[in-house]
Amino acid sequence: MDHSLVSFMRKNIGTAMLVGLIFAAVGFLSVFFLGPKFSIRTDYLVSQENAETKDYYTLTRSAEYMSKVLMEVAGSERFITAVTDTGKVDQGFLPQDKREKLLSWKRMVRVEKRLDLGIISVTVSGNDLREAQKVSLGVSQVFTEKNGTFLGTGEHNVPVSILSGPISERNPGMAKVLVAVFGGFLGGFLGSLLLSFLRSEFDPGRRTDPIDIA
């Protein structure tokens, strides 16, 4: 390592540490004050009827396909309407404007696929625990009792069962806090060093010796 790089690090590491700490503090505060206070998670298993007459590969691929379809439609206006029609949620719990409605729903409901076995994880977040619980119940009813509307099977629903949940948590969890703090610090620290390096390279008034990392 060249002495110029050592000199560069000594000169800028203090500032980089300070910037990293500032970013870490911002990340910590944003998690507590900008994120939702509650989250409710439910895991679902998509399966098929007459499984004993089909081979494992066919069942797995079919379950994977149906879970992907449900994941995609879960963010649609039609799905939101189906959740509202269950009566579990209030009619005006989302904005009336279509664009704002979809954006609000996307912030509230997160759908993830777990592995490739037809397992779907749905997390409903919000600042009102009671409202989040209502939405979670509405989503569960659509997934388990009205999925045929979205899977093209009409009145015939595909078996979708609840594996676990609904599990309520108060946000932010420790894992999310640690990610925000360490991610903020690392981003600020490295970003500060990179900015200092670029300024030393391209600003003739600041550049003294070339930095050789070879």
CB 151 within 8 A of CB 66: yes
What is the tens place of the pLDDT at every residue in 127-167?
888 888 999 999 999 988 888 888 777 777 888 888 887 88
Is the preceding peptide bond at 159 cis, omega within 30 degrees of 0? no
Residue 193's nearest CA partner among 3, 14, 2 is 14
At 50 the pLDDT is: 56
CB 73 within 8 A of CB 111: no
Q: How many CA atoms lie within 13 A of 61 on its CB side?
A: 5
Of 75-79, 178-182, 196-200, least confident by mean pLDDT is 196-200
Residue 78's Cβ-count burial label (10 Å; 0-12, 13-18, 19+) is exposed
Q: How many angstroms separate the CA atoms of 122 and 124, rounded?
A: 7
Q: What is the mean pLDDT of residues 56-67?
A: 72
pTM higher than 0.85 for the full model?
no
Q: What are phi and psi of 89, to 5 degrees?
A: -120, 160
Q: How many angstroms separate the CA atoms of 94 and 27, rounded?
A: 28
Mean pLDDT of the chain: 79
Instruction: Assign 214 a pLDDT band (cuts: 50, 70, 90).
Output: very low
Q: Which domains does the chain have, with CATH numbers?
A: 3-32+176-202 (no CATH), 36-171 (3.30.1890)
Structural element, H or E, at residue 100: helix 98-108
Q: How many angstroms separate the CA atoms of 207 and 194, rounded?
A: 14
DSSP 117: T
Taking the alpha carbons at both ends of the chain, their separation in whole angstroms is 6
At 211 the pLDDT is: 45
